[in-house]
A and B are shown apart, each in its own frame.
Chain A
Amino acid sequence: MTSGQATPAGSDARASGSGVGRPLLTSDVESFKAGHTALRPLLVEELGDVAGKTLLHLHCGRGLETLSWARLGAEVTGVDPSPDAIEAARELAAETGLRATFMQADPSDVERELPGTFDIVFASWGALAQQGDLHCWAHIVAHYLRPRGTLYLTDVHPFARTLEETDDHDVRVSYPYLAPEPPSRCDRGSPHGFAEIINALIEAGLRLEFLHEFPFAAAPLWEWMERDPQGWSRLPDRGPDIPLAYSLAATKPMGGA
């Protein structure tokens, strides 16, 4: 892997979630404290009304998105493996007076420590990047969803992860989309194509509701990308659009997983 790959610049593998997918800026935190949301309108629109719902945020990083859902009325719990991120999230919750539970745990071990089920499981930018076998991750999602509960996942598009920047500020396919072998749990950093992501969720008992793709990303994948008025990072006008992000929703059927 070289620095040219579509792993968001400045990624901090320990603070996953908003840490990996979206370099956290001081201005983001200040803006959040001032009452602004860290969630893009698209996410709020796609997930719908969260007021009064319980929401588990896997790989919550420093909790900006978690607390933004809390601000919209959700009862939120955030989980992240990084102790620093969780401490920062707790501080931010205290400072903003928002109710939230934050827990330091590797999402693959969280089952042992966190009881209950949730209306919504939420994961975003970079959540899958550190996962090896997605079956394990999908199993945890299914475990924490109540019947009829919804997983909402949004991340860098797996095609974008195959791309490397070129000298003329364009991109070329350089990295694998399909994993050479079924990845093992230790294979962190192996690619996850759509088939692998979606089938892991289906095999965990979830039902896919939609798969949406977007020609923009939450953070610049390469330095020369441009920020649009909504805050999305786009490729400078290059003709044909390239998919850079996706979102999907999956529900747990009534009968359970």
Chain B
Amino acid sequence: MLEEFTKANLAMWNELTGIHAESEFYDVQGFKAGKQTLTSIELEEIGGEVAGKTLLHLQCHFGLDTLSLARLGAVATGVDFSDQAIALARNLSQEVAVPATFVHSDVYHLPEVLDERFDILFTSWGVLIWLGDLDRWAEVVAHFLKPGGTFYIAEFHPFVWMLDDGASSLRPRPASAPPPADELRVGYPYFPRPQPLAFDDDGDYADPAAHVHASTSYEWTHSLGEIVTVLLRHGLVLEYLHEFPRSIGLRLPFIVEGDDGWQRVKGHEESFPLSFSIRATKRAGG
């Protein structure tokens, strides 16, 4: 079953790669001209210390952030399960003459094809929902870190995925009184479950005009407690958990975008957490 879900997700991500390469959101032209693609969160929290370090970027999509980290001096390796994305990443690396290694693999099987340990493991924005086995993910993270190495993630906050976007069929509603549209109610499960949620959506967060043919995706929910605890279980020591009321790239009805380019929750602009970051260290002994 897991394979079937992954196959559908792969078909979608392969198709999205082509759409994203042309999208305003990813702004590949800007990147080629030298634009930094990391958000200020990653830049401030990890960007200043990657120079000269070996860095593994898991679920790198087509490598814009990987290459941005390389531009900051990291000796970067990017990994993605989409062959299309990795092919595009390699082309971009050549074209902008920023060296980086790109490996085509899913997270779970990466130890079979990559034999190296890294100073920094980086991953960001929209990665965890594609992982059905978060414990194995954390095991892979720990595997690739040198003792004393740093894990860093900036990611959508799990609370966001709970909120009803008006399309949830999971929440029983009294037919007589649908809740007001501007109310934030819980419409999707928060706790991890073995089965993913199936979504059928031919739109795309990066290109509102796109019509995606491979439109069925399978996404797993992961709670904040699960994310933190799997890392600790595999020998990482938490240095911090940060929560931010802002994010990028969400396509949800309760999201507003500010002049600063950050998205926030309408009516809860400074108080609802839309993203988080975690920094953790692999124990020197482990």
Residue of A nearest to B227 (CB): A211
Complex CA–CA separation, A172 to B254 (angstroms): 13
Tell me the residues in window 156-176 of chain A with beta carbons closer than 8 Å to chain B beta carbons. 159, 162, 166-168, 170-173, 175-176
One of B65-73, B75-83, B103-111, B177-185 contacting the partner: B177-185
One of B23-31, B33-41, B166-174, B203-211 contacting the partner: B166-174
The interface bits of chain B over 184-224 (1 if a CB of A lies within 8 angstroms of the residue's CB, else 0) are 11111111000000000000000000000000000000011
Across the interface, A194 reaches (CB within 8 A) one of B185, B224, B237, namely: B224
B163: interface (CB < 8 Å): yes
Q: Is the CB of B191 within 8 A of A241?
A: yes
Q: Is the CB of A176 within 8 A of B268?
A: yes
One of A34-42, A48-56, A117-125, A202-210 contacting the partner: A202-210
Q: Is the CB of A240 within 8 A of B187?
A: yes
Interfacial chain B residues near A237, Cβ < 8 Å: 172
Complex CA–CA separation, A241 to B172 (angstroms): 12
Q: Is the CB of B229 within 8 A of A211?
A: yes
Q: Is the CB of A178 within 8 A of B245?
A: yes
Q: Is the CB of B177 within 8 A of A168?
A: yes
B45: interface (CB < 8 Å): no
Residue of A nearest to B244 (CB): A178
Complex CA–CA separation, A239 to B197 (angstroms): 13
Complex CA–CA separation, A210 to B184 (angstroms): 29
Q: Is the CB of A202 within 8 A of B170?
A: no
What count of chain B residues pass the 8 Å CB interface test? 41
Q: Is the CB of A208 within 8 A of B238?
A: yes
Q: Is the CB of A198 within 8 A of B229?
A: no
Residue of B nearest to A250 (CB): B238
Across the interface, B191 reaches (CB within 8 A) one of A168, A172, A239, A243, namely: A243
Across the interface, B228 reaches (CB within 8 A) one of A159, A166, A173, A211, namely: A211
Q: Count the A-B residue pairs with Cβ separation under 8 angstroms: how many?
A: 115
One of B47-55, B91-99, B147-155, B270-278 contacting the partner: B270-278
Interfacial chain A residues near B240, Cβ < 8 Å: 195, 198-199, 202
Q: Is the CB of A170 within 8 A of B243?
A: no
Across the interface, A240 reaches (CB within 8 A) one of B188, B241, B242, namely: B188
B232: interface (CB < 8 Å): yes
A177: interface (CB < 8 Å): yes
Given the contacts A240-B186, A242-B186, A173 and B191 also touching, CB distance less than 8 Å: no
Q: Is the CB of B243 within 8 A of A178?
A: yes
B22: interface (CB < 8 Å): no
Given the contacts A193-B273, A210-B229, A213-B223, A198 and B190 also touching, CB distance less than 8 Å: no
Interfacial chain A residues near B177, Cβ < 8 Å: 167-168
The A interface, classified by DSSP as helix, strand, loop or mixed, is loop
What count of chain A residues pass the 8 Å CB interface test? 37
Q: Is the CB of B241 within 8 A of A242?
A: no
Complex CA–CA separation, A173 to B245 (angstroms): 14
Q: Is the CB of A240 within 8 A of B238?
A: no
Q: Determine how close the nearest CB of chain A comes to the CB of B84; give it in whole angstroms.
A: 34
Residue of A nearest to B229 (CB): A210
Q: Is the CB of A193 within 8 A of B243?
A: yes
A229: interface (CB < 8 Å): no
Q: Is the CB of A211 within 8 A of B224?
A: yes
Q: Which of B187, B189, B273 has the most CB of A within 10 A?
A: B273
Q: Determine how close the nearest CB of chain B comes to the CB of A18; give it in whole angstroms.
A: 23
Given the contacts A173-B163, A199-B240, A208-B238, A180 and B270 also touching, CB distance less than 8 Å: yes
Complex CA–CA separation, A241 to B188 (angstroms): 8
B5: interface (CB < 8 Å): no
Residue of A nearest to B187 (CB): A240
Q: Is the CB of B159 within 8 A of A171?
A: no
Residue of B nearest to A176 (CB): B271
Q: Determine how close the nearest CB of chain B comes to the CB of A155; give it in whole angstroms.
A: 13
Q: Is the CB of A240 within 8 A of B162?
A: yes
Across the interface, B171 reaches (CB within 8 A) one of A166, A195, A211, A238, namely: A238
Given the contacts A170-B185, A172-B184, A211-B224, A240 and B273 also touching, CB distance less than 8 Å: no
Complex CA–CA separation, A80 to B280 (angstroms): 35
Interfacial chain B residues near A171, Cβ < 8 Å: 185-186
The interface bits of chain A over 73-114 (1 if a CB of B lies within 8 angstroms of the residue's CB, else 0) are 000000000000000000000000000000000000000000
Mind listing 12 A-B residue pairs with CB under 8 Å? A168-B174, A170-B179, A173-B185, A173-B272, A177-B271, A178-B271, A193-B273, A198-B241, A210-B225, A213-B223, A215-B190, A215-B191
Q: Enumerate chain B interface residues (CB-CB to A < 8 A).
A: 159, 162-163, 168, 170-172, 174, 177, 179, 183-191, 223-226, 228-229, 232-233, 237-243, 245, 268, 270-273, 276
Given contacts A176-B271, A180-B271, A210-B233, 9 further A-B contacts (CB under 8 A): A195-B240, A198-B228, A198-B238, A198-B240, A199-B241, A213-B190, A213-B224, A215-B191, A238-B171
Q: Enumerate chain A interface residues (CB-CB to B < 8 A).
A: 159, 162, 166-168, 170-173, 175-178, 180, 191, 193-195, 198-199, 202, 207-213, 215, 237-243, 246
